[in-house]
Every structure is written in structure tokens, then in C-alpha cells.
Structure 1
Amino acid sequence: MPRKILVTYTSKYGSTRKYAEWIASALSADLFDAQRIEPKALSQYDVIIYGGGLYAGGIAGVKLVTQNSCENLIVFTVGLADPNTTDYSAILNKNFTPELLAKTKFFHLRGGIDYKKLGPIHKVMMAMMKGMIQRKPESEREPEDKEFLNTYNSKVNFEDRQTIDSVITYVNDL
């Protein structure tokens, strides 16, 4: 009997939605914006894949899956930071109970940013981040800090369809 798979997401600027669409297509899964799915509908699925953008230490919309029981839960986050060099433990610990952390599989994907499309709050947050980085002595700046300053106030896109391969392989191996 085939498994029933749901891919649901919260996306403010589009990168998370794009990854969700790619994943749902590759897995022949149902796809819903998290704002358009009733929490009780989650129980109809064998596997739930939730995607949310990273904002100020939070995962957008993640309460849908943290406050409702999900049998096989997979979460992917989307942010600007390089997943190969970023420690996400503080974000995960802030958003998930220890019990849920232990039984959830996480993937971290890289999105993009177009400063012209940012809302006022996100513009202020990015300006604050720029100020924090600029106050660091240059010798203490990480490569990502330098990249942030070099691309500040422009449009950058790190979306990569191939990065969903690990998600697809994991789900197919369940």
C-alpha cells in the first residue's frame, strides 16, 4: 500500500514554496500552503514534510507540526546561511521539544533574498544584522559575514534543486 505524503510549507518570499513544490513533485505528494490546511487533516498522512523559512531564530509557521501529532515528521528550513557551515541547534531547540527533536528528521536548504521585496520589519532586521557585522573587527568576521556585507541591499539566490535529493532519498528509504 503506497504511503500518503503531505508537503506543507510557510513561505513569505517564495524560496520555501519553491522547494516544497520540487519535493512534492518528486514524491508525488499532496502540497498545501500551511495556512490552507486544517491541523486535523495531518492525521490522514503517513509522512508529513514541513518547510519553513528562518526568521530571527524561528521557523515560520512551524507550530502547525509542533502542536499537532505527526507520525513521520520531516522538517526542512530555508535561510540565507550556508547549511554546510551553520549550526542550527539553537534554532531547533527553540522551536521543538526534546521529544519532538528526537523523532523528527531535519534538512536545511539555502534560499535567496531580494531586499526590494522585504517588508519593513525584515528590512529593519537585516539593517540591524549589517550593523552588528560591521561592528565586528574585520579579523573576526566569518566568510558568511563578508558575503552578507558584499550582497547587502541586492538580490541573491542560492536556491538549488539538487539539494532536495537528500530529502527525497530519506523519504523513499522510510
Structure 2
Amino acid sequence: MQNGLILFQSKYGAARRYAGWLAEATGFPLCPAKDVEKSALSGADPVILAGGIYASGVAGIQVLRKNQELLRGKRCAILAVGASPADPATIETVRKLNLKEDLAAVPFFYARGAWDLQKMSFADRTLCKMLQKSVAKKDPASLEPWEQALLEAAGGTADWTDREYLQPLLRWIRQGE
């Protein structure tokens, strides 16, 4: 019997939704990453962080970095949630940017999230619109999968969340039983 803990940090809700689905599937408690107590971390194994991807950074990852000593010897994993399609090259880039030497061995999983320009903060909305304009100038045949998705989402909304994205992470959790 595992005594896991699911942490999440979500700006717009998709990472929170995946964390909730993980909690349902595993029975592990759910906690916002920013509110986790050291006592909860010390008693948990595995510890899973579900965090949204913002400007290539995984939200909440600092909790794992800050508590490395406490988590040493425990199974930890990261579920990064982003709007890009599950393109291996893009996922690997995000993994390398976030899992430097201190977290290099932590298993990294990806789930596609949602997009709603109207719910975004002014700063996020402005950045996304600028990026869309820049990408729109490119030759459509040369677009990366994430760039194509960015243009397709444009000013609308999209919800790509799907429980199926959790299957690799759930298999990893079961391996520890």
C-alpha cells in the first residue's frame, strides 16, 4: 500500500483537473503545491507534482527543488500540463529546461491541457497574442506542432484534457506497489 501525495499548481485549471483525476484513480490526497506542509511530504511516497507549463517552466517545480533533502529516497514524478500537442521533441525540450542536474532523474510525464484566451491574465494574453502574430508570419509548412496548435487556438477556446494522458503515469505509480 502506497502513501502517495499529489501536489498541483495550476493557473487556469487544467493541471488541477489532472491532479483531481489522479487522486480519484489512486486514492492519494491532493494538495496545492504552495500549501504543502513538510510533514505531508515526509510521510508521502510517491510524491507527484502536476503543474502547468508557462513560458516553458513547470509551475510548482520549486517545491521539489526546495525539499530535495526531505524527498531523497522517495519516488517523485512530474506531470507537466501544456497546450501543445504531445510532440516528443517539444516535451523533451521542456523536460531538459526544467529537470536540470538536481531533478534530472525524476520521471517526467506530459498531458495536454486547455486554452482559453479570455480567462488568461492580461500579461499572458498579451504574450500569447504577440507569439501568435510572430508564428503567423512563418511558412505554414515549417511550423512546429506547438506553433500549429497556437495558431489553431487563436482567439478561441479549446479543451484537450483527457484521462488517457494519465495512463503512463498511473503505470509508473503501480510499478512501485
Q: Same fold (TM over 0.5)?
A: yes
Distance in structure 2 (CA, Å) of the matches to 1:45 and 1:86: 32
Distance in structure 2 (CA, Å) of the matches to 1:90 and 1:142: 13
The equivalent of 2:3 in structure 1 is 4
Deviation at 1:162, TM superposition (A): 1.7
Unaligned runs of 5+ in 2: none
**Alignment partner of 1:127: what SS?**
helix
Residues 73 and 105 in structure 1, CA contact (< 8 A), matched pair in contact too: yes
The equivalent of 2:36 in structure 1 is 37
The equivalent of 2:131 in structure 1 is 129
| TM-score between both structures, scaled by the size of structure 1 | 0.91
List per-residue Cα deviations over 1:63-106 (Å, max 9, x = no partner): 0012212211110000011114443333333323324212x111
User: Which contiguous aligned blocks of 4+ residues in structure 1 show a shift greater than 4 angstroms?
Assistant: none
The equivalent of 1:165 in structure 2 is 167
List per-residue Cα deviations over 1:136-155 (Å, max 9, x = no partner): 12332235433322321101
The equivalent of 1:105 in structure 2 is 107
Aligned CA distance change for structure 1 residues 148 and 94 (closer, same or farther; 3 Å): closer
Distance in structure 2 (CA, Å) of the matches to 1:89 and 1:146: 18
| TM-score between both structures, scaled by the size of structure 2 | 0.89
Q: CA RMSD in A?
A: 1.6
The equivalent of 1:77 in structure 2 is 80
Distance in structure 2 (CA, Å) of the matches to 1:169 and 1:143: 27
The equivalent of 2:46 in structure 1 is 47
Residues 115 and 153 in structure 2, CA contact (< 8 A), matched pair in contact too: no
Residues 66 and 96 in structure 1, CA contact (< 8 A), matched pair in contact too: no
Distance in structure 2 (CA, Å) of the matches to 1:90 and 1:84: 10
2:98 to 72, 76, 95: 95
Aligned residue pairs, count:
172
More displaced stretch, 20-29 vs 81-90: 81-90
**Alignment partner of 1:101: what SS?**
coil
List per-residue Cα deviations over 1:112-134 (Å, max 9, x = no partner): 01111010111011112102211
Unaligned runs of 5+ in 1: none
List per-residue Cα deviations over 1:27-76 (Å, max 9, x = no partner): 11011111221245311112100011001011112100122122111100
Distance in structure 1 (CA, Å) of the matches to 2:52 and 2:107: 16
